[in-house]
Chains A and B, each alone.
Chain A
Amino acid sequence: MTPAALYTLYAAFVLGGAGLYFLLPNPDRGKPLAGAALGALGLAALIVAWALVGDAGTGAAFYALGGVAVLCTVRVITHPKPVYSALYFVVTVLAVAALCVLQGAEFLAAALVIIYAGAILVTYVFVIMLAQQSGPSSADRRSREPFLSVCAGFVTMAVITVHASKALESNAAAAGRGRAEARLASAVTEAGAPAGIAEDGATLSDDGAKRSAATPGNAMALGGAVMTRYMAALQLSGLLLLIAMVGAVAMSRKRVPQEGAVAPRAPLGQAGREVPPY
Chain B
Amino acid sequence: MPGTTEYVILGACLFALGMAGFFARRNLIVMFLCTEIMFQGVVLTVVGFSKLWANLDGQAYALFLLVIAAVEAGLALGLVVLLYRRRGTLDAEAWSVMRG
Where the two chains meet, the residues of A that have a C-beta atom closer than 8 Å to any C-beta of B are 1, 9, 20, 24, 46, 49-50, 53-58, 62, 66, 69-70, 73-74, 76-77, 82, 85-86, 89, 92-93, 96, 99-100, 102-105, 107-108, 111-112, 115-116, 119-120, 123-124, 127-128, 130-131, 133, 137-140, 142-146, 148-150, 152-154, 156-157, 160-161, 164-165, 168, 172, 175, 178-179, 182-183, 218, 221-222, 225-226, 229-230, 233, 237, 240-241, 244-245, 247-248, 251-252, 254, 256-260, 262-263
Contact = CB atoms under 8 A, between A and B. Distances in A.
Given A92-B37, A149-B24, A160 B64 contact: no
A78 B64 CA distance: 29
Contacts of B73: 120, 123-124
Given A74-B17, A77-B18, A144-B93, A62 B6 contact: yes
Contacts, number: 291
Nearest to A107: B59
Contacts of A82: 27, 29-30, 33
Interface in B46-60: 47-48, 50-57, 59-60
15 contacts: A54-B5, A73-B13, A108-B47, A111-B63, A111-B66, A124-B33, A133-B89, A137-B90, A139-B89, A142-B26, A175-B52, A241-B67, A244-B70, A252-B82, A260-B87
Interface string B32-51: 11101100100111011011
A115 B6 CA distance: 25
Interface of B: 1-10, 12-27, 29-30, 32-34, 36-37, 40, 43-45, 47-48, 50-57, 59-60, 62-64, 66-71, 73-75, 77-82, 84-93
